[in-house]
Amino acid sequence: MGALVLRVPFALPWGIGVLQVTGHGHTCAMKAVAGDAQVCRRVATRVLAIDRNISGLHALATGRWQWIADMGMGRFLRSPSLFEDCAKALFATNTGFARTVKMAKAAAALGDPVGDMRAFPGPERLISMSETEIKMQTGCGFRARYLLNLCKRALEVPQIYLDDGWCVLSGEELGTELRQLLGFGPASVEYLTRMYRPTCTFHFDSWVVRRCEQLWGVEEGNMVDFARHRYGRFGEMASTVMWLELTRYWHETNGLYHVAG
């Protein structure tokens, strides 16, 4: 397989630019396509979750879990800001992946041009629009009200949603912050905390329930106990390991890696 290339535009209060990450095997390189190189490096650290130390996870990933360490798994691709990831989590509510992508692309089209791309719009841009306008421009339907509530909160505490203020929060504190937002149920909160500040809690949405039934034949009423027993050794990274195992086939199907076992 050839090199994988990721381009990320961003427009944040402290910097605007486009970064490009080129990955091949276990290595990657970053360059600033537009904007200040130091700012692009800072955003790349956030986007690639380089701030997360996963050495402890890899030390525990032995036996049936060895593939996690071998492939350097344990980090999740983030957006340039928590605000953008929260908005995309709303777009993923009660719909399929294709429609989520369509809504996210439509929202991004509302952002400012950066280089030859458009950055995801900030809360100040979206909150200047009415609920009806957001529905028409993005096709997000009932989520428009939730999106405006998110914008309001992001402008109240920009250090959390537009900067690195979330870093000083524990997983539980971040979860508490997100749960006060309209439209953010247990599944959305767990997905976001897993990306930013993982906890040992599990939530089973309909897709996860189906995957657990497919892989292990576990009945829905027994899934929490099953997950605690199977992944308990990983502590706060337990739900991360569960997610890696549930989605392993995505990577294998697309040829990104294949490890026997």
CB 82 within 8 A of CB 196: yes
Q: In this predicted model, what pLDDT tens digit does every residue of 14-33 receive, in sequence order?
A: 999 999 999 887 788 999 99
Give me the numbers of helices (H) and strands (E) for the chain, helices first please: 14, 5
What is the bridge-based pairing of β-strands 27-34 and 117-118? Answer: unpaired
Checking if the pLDDT of 197 tops 70, the result is: yes
Report the range of poorest mean pLDDT among 24-38, 56-70, 128-142, 173-187: 24-38
- Location of structure tokens 């950066």: 114
Give the tokens for residue 219: 């009945």
For residue 259, the model assigns a pLDDT of 41
Q: Is a pLDDT exceeding 90 seen at residue 68?
A: yes
pLDDT value at position 258? 41
Cα–Cα distances (Å) from 14 to 38, 42, 44, 148, 216, in that order, read 11, 11, 14, 22, 47
| Predicted local distance difference test score (pLDDT) of residue 260 | 36
pLDDT of residue 1: 58
Rounded to whole angstroms, how far apart are CA atoms 83 and 238? Answer: 25
CB 85 within 8 A of CB 195: yes
Q: Is the model's pLDDT at 92 over the cut of 50?
A: yes
Topology of 82-184 in CATH? Endonuclease III; domain 1 (1.10.340)
Q: Which residues are paired to 9 by β-bridges?
A: 18
pLDDT in tens, 205-245: 888 999 999 999 999 999 999 999 999 999 999 999 999 99
Q: Are 24 and 3 in contact (CB under 8 A)?
A: yes
Which has more confidence, 175 or 261?
A: 175
State the pTM of this model. 0.92
Residues 6+ apart with CB under 8 A from 34: 9, 16, 17, 18, 114, 115
For the chain, which residues make up each domain, given as ranges? Answer: 4-48, 54-78+200-261, 82-184
Mean pLDDT of the region 138-146: 98
